[in-house]
Each structure stands twice: as C-alpha cells, then as structure tokens.
Structure 1
Amino acid sequence: MSKQFIEAEQLGSEFTVGQIDSSKPDDLYLTSAGFEERTLTATESLDSDYEADWGIIYVNKEYFKRSNSEVTKTHLKEQKESLRKHCENVDVLMGSWLEADEQLYTLRDGFKNFTERNSLNITVDVTSFNRESLLVAFNILYSLSNDISTRVLYVSPEDHGEWLTKGHRLVRNVIGFAGIQNSSKPTLLIILSGFEKDRAVSTIEEIEPGKVLMGIGNPPTKETFLEENLQKQELVLNQQDTDRFRFSANSITDSKNDIKEVIEKYTDEYNLILSPMSTKLSTLGAWSAARESREVQVVYTIPGEYNLKNYSSGSEAMYIDWVK
C-alpha cells in the first residue's frame, strides 16, 4: 500500500488529486458535509478531469438543528456544486449520529446502485465523517463486491479547539462488529486515544474492563498533536490502571498492523473490545484489523455534544492512502 502526503503549501488551487485508474471514471466519490473548514478541501482539490459515476454526500441531520447550522448548510451546498462538475449523479444522504438504525439504513439504501457491479473503484473523503458512520459505510461498501479498490483522502487540521466534545450519552456496539464474547474470559478494552480525555474515561467506566490498553498515535499527523495527545493520555492514566501501546495515526496500513499485533497478543486471554478515538486513518486501520479478527468487538462512544463552533481550524495537510 502506498501513501502520499501533501503539505499545506501545496493545498492551493494548483494542487490536484488524480484518479485511481485514469482509464475510466470512479464508480463512486463519497464525502461527508460537516461544520469544519476542512470539510471542502479534498473535494475542491479534485482534478478538473476527475469523473465519477455517482457523487454521494453524507450528512448528519443533527448538524442542522444547532445554532451554527448555516455553516453546514453552506458546506453542503458548495459540495453539491463541486461534485456536479465531476459526477453524472449527485445524491445527499441525510443520516444521524444519534440513531444507529437510521444511520445504517440511510447508508445501505444510498449505496443500492452499486449492488450489481462486479468491481468498484471508489474515492472516499473521510475528513468530516463521524467515526461510526465511517465504519458502517465501509462495512456496507465492502459487502457489495469482492473486487473493490478504495482511495482515501484525509485532510488534517491546522489546530483543534480547546475542546472537541463534552460528555457522553452511551457506548454502543458498531453494527457489524459484535465480536465473540466468552463468559470465562476477562475483558480487554483497547482505546486508540486522541484529544477527548472525558470520552475515553467514560468508555472505560461504562465497560468496566479487566484491563485497559491506551494507544498513542505516533507517528502523528502533526508533531504538536502528539504532545497534546500525550498530555491528555496522562490525565487518563492518572485516573485508571492502564498500559500503553503505539499505533500509527497517519497510515491505514501501519495502524492496522499495529492493532493486529495487539489483538494477536491478547486474543487467547481476553475478550477484546476496540474503541477508535483517533484520526480517521487509524479508524480505518481499526476497521481493517477488526474485519480480519472477527472475535473483536468495536464500540463507539456517542458524545453529549460537539464543539460545532470551534472544533478545528484550517487545513494542515492532505493524506492520500489506499484500502484494497
């Protein structure tokens, strides 16, 4: 698997994203509308010659019920305008980050046009997806064909807000990753930690595992993010009896391999629960590792609220990675 990294200075109008296979259009370009500035970066960087049969924009309906809903509405409008230049068909899927069933059915029905294709070439801008909808979307897409090639675009921010989320509503199993639980084994909770200390602590408290492993994203997508992650993790370590491990925050394949190593080490002794809370690239690494290790349960902690007004700022860099 190859990976391409584009620094901030190259993210101007002169920068373009080429196709997986230039001999034919993509079957699908999938993105998500959100409230962050970086929502538009990848789509607006598409090469003028880029084509896809379908362009699909996923958006959570809850974003339209908040005080700054106009920002998401504007981003959605601009994304539709951009995709109409590249895609024969453009659809908007209105899902929910609160209701798991609605999220699943929205994505399943939205992908119905690809069920009879022998192979799929897909480009996914994962930047603004919430992690659960991203995991569910990939589960559905990879159930449609045995021959799928997916290019992943991820735009990292210049900086994060003082807080990202507050509180938590509940911890729930991600549909498609129930895992295998043995009542005679203790539980090991594996957390890919990020900036959200309270969310990590809430997950630990609700699951009450016998052992906790806190992963730190190193290499990170930005060195200053590593420092902040370490500080947040120390706060969790001071409250909980946990051990550390390292995973790659900037590569799907590397993070998958790091997580697989942990799974293989502990799978005989523990029931394994995996909670990805870091970058979208490492979230897809977790997805890929869990697909190959069906005994692993994947969970998602629903936040009480998002910092819609100051979640992040700017576009620091773009990562281009591949999933096969």
Structure 2
Amino acid sequence: MEKITLKDIKHQLAGCKVSHFLTCASFEDRSSSLVKVMLGQEIDDIGIFATIDFAKEIEESRNHMCHLLQDYKVQKIDLKISDPVFSFINIVNYCVNIFVNEPVFLVLDISTFTHEHLLILFRVIRDYKRESDTVFVSYTSVQEYSYNITEHTDKWLTKGVKELRSIIGFPGYFDPTRRNHLIILVGFEVERVIKLIESFEFEMVTLIIGSSDNPMSINNQIINEHRYDQILTMYSHAKKMEVSLTNPQEVKTTILNYIKDFDDYNTVIAPMNNKISTLGVGYAAMENTDIQLFYMQANIYNTEGYSKSEDCFYLGKL
C-alpha cells in the first residue's frame, strides 16, 4: 500500500463517484480521520460500523461521525466483540446490498475495526466482489500507542483474555494425526501472546514481527522489538520471522512460502500487529484454506489513550 498525505488522498479520489464508504467508529480518534477527508466527496451510501460492547465511548464517536456526515445517506451497522455470529450476520446483511448494481466503487477504512471484525468483513467483501468492482482500502497511521502513559515499559492496549476462538470464515482444516504449528504476528501486546501459547499444545511456534526495513513509526518499532525480544526470552524454542507492515500481498506471499516447509502441520495464525498485515494474513488463509485464523478477545481496552494518529494514510486496492 502507498503512504500518502491528506492532500494526496483527496487527489486520488478526485472526480471519482464513490458508491460506498465503510468505516468503523471507535474510542480511537483516528476513526474519524478519513471521514474528515471524505467530506465534500460524492458518496452514495456510507456505512458506519460500531462495536456496541463499548456503549458509551463508541456511541459518542459514531454520533460525532454522523454529525460530520449529516449531508450524506448514512447507515449504522452494529457489531459485538462478545458475539461474532451477531457481527457476521450484520456484516453480511449490509454487504449483500452493496454488490447489487454495477459497478461498485467502495472505499474501506480498515483502521479501527478489531482484527476479527476486519477479517470477517474482508472475507464477505472478497466473496461478493466482482471483476467490475473497485475497492480501495485505507489505513490511518499511528504516531503513538498508549499515549496516555509515558514509560515505554508501562504502555498497554489491552489487559486480560476473555476468550480464544476461531474467526468466522477462516476455520481451516484440522487433522488430529498432524502436529500443530502456531504462528503469531506480534505487535504491542505481550500478555495475549503468552496466553495463546500456553492455552494450547503447539509442537511448533513461530513469532513474526514487523520488518525493520520499512517501519511505519521508528518509536513504535523500538517498543515492538523490545516486547518481541521479551517473548523470545520466554520461548527460546520459537522460530523467528519478519513481514511487511505496509504491503498485504507481501505478507501473504511470505507466509505461504514459509509454511510450505511445514505442510505436515496443522497451521493456526493469530494476527496481532497492524490491520494491513492482518489483511495479508486474510489473503493467505483464503488462498490456503487449510490455515485457521484465531482471535483473542481481551477483557479491558485502554479506551482513554489507545492511539494517537498521524496525518498520513496508506492506500491500496483490495
């Protein structure tokens, strides 16, 4: 995906009639970043998703977005972290009406969906999308995570793990006679990684970090590398690997090539880095349907200071 400025994204979409714009309200301020850019753009329909488990914080955010978009046709789609089936049904019911008329020109802001909701939505869009349709994906870059905490070692995004589950649309294939291979795309969080490793018996564990060659943020990369090393000291047997955080197709290729050497294993992947790399995992699991994707629902989120956005975006086609 291409890194662009606010001005660039307006230029990219200039003259385009956007049939649908999809975004997700969040306790993160960046959930409205692209909304502000899209003001003045010709758009037929806007879908604002929201995880209603966070009733107060999220509804305030969605109401703010609806106010900004008061001159547009806006639909609200509810999601639940605690109920993936509820979320899946609502995503399908909304998306089935998108791909009716041709051609569709859709802009999807992936920034503030949960990894699980994003992958379900990605799967549904990919299943319905036709050759004549155009889908642009945008991601708002993060300047700083856990910005309400100064010390790097104390920064946190979530605490606790409520549930571990397979992601709808990516069940994979499980052969009880095979050994099990867990692959985790490690990001900011240590506790959830440890919980996943210790909850199941995996004969092989691979820990993947975002590539240091082209990091989105030097400061975030430093923190991620420190926490990655922290996990490796606990699980010295784990294999190590890097993937791109800016190119989902590269992520797909890297993962598929890597697991060819372990085709006698059941493969489970848990994407826990940024949403661009999560899309890459989704691509990989759609191409190799033996791959199972996994999600860890947290107990508590840092709703007061989860992230601070940058004034730049990553834009690419789905």
TM-score normalised over the length of structure 1 = 0.88
Measure how far apart 1:194 and its partner are: 0.1
Query: Could you say which residue in structure 2 is the equivalent of 1:165?
Result: 158
Per the TM alignment, residue 182 of structure 1 is displaced from its structure 2 partner at its CA by: 1.4
Q: Letter of the aligned partner of 2:45 in structure 1?
A: W
Match of residue 128 from structure 2: 144
Secondary structure class of the residue paired with 1:94? strand
Q: Which runs of 4+ in 1 moved over 6 A?
A: none
Count of aligned pairs between the two proteins:
306
- For residues 104 and 261 of structure 2, the distance between their equivalents in structure 1, rounded to whole angstroms, comes to 34
- Partners of 2:107 and 2:162 lie apart in 1 by 32
Pair 21,38 (structure 1): closer, same or farther in 2 beyond 3 Å: closer
Distance 1:179 1:37, change over 3 A: same
Q: Counterpart amino acid of 2:273?
A: S
Cα pair distance change 1:17/1:262, threshold 3 Å: farther
Structure 1 contact 20–121 (Cα < 8 Å) conserved? no
Query: For 1:123, what is the secondary structure of its paired residue?
Result: strand
- Deviation by residue 1:172-215 (Cα, 9 ceiling, x = unmatched): 00011111111221011111110111111111112321101000
The one-letter code matched in structure 2 to 1:109 is: N
**Equivalent residue of 1:315, what SS?**
strand
Aligned-partner Cα distance in 2 for 1:246–1:174 = 23
Instruction: Provide the residue aligned with 1:58 in structure 2.
Output: 49
Partner of 2:193: 200
For 2:265, the equivalent position in structure 1 comes to 270
Shift of 1:73: 3.1
State yes or no: 1:252 paired with 2:244.
no
Deviations 1:53-104 (A, max 9, x none): 210000011111xxxx3x533321232233344x4x3101111011111111
**Deviation (angstroms), 1:115:** 4.5
Q: Once the 2 structures are TM-superposed, how far is the Cα of residue 26 of structure 1 from its aligned partner?
A: 2.4
Partner of 1:220: 215
SS of the residue aligned with 1:72?
Answer: helix
**C-alpha contact 1:156 1:317 (8 A) present in aligned 2:** yes
CA–CA distance in 2 between the matches of 1:20 and 1:297?
36
Partner of 2:74: 90
Indicate conservation of the 8 Å contact 1:32/1:57, yes or no. yes
The alpha carbon displacement at 1:47 in A equals 6.1
Tell me what 1:120 maps to.
Answer: 104
- Do the aligned partners of residues 292 and 15 (structure 1) sit closer, same or farther apart at CA in structure 2, a change above 3 Å counting? closer
Using the size of structure 2 for normalisation, the TM-score is: 0.90
Give 1:146 shift. Answer: 2.8
SS in 2 for 1:204: helix
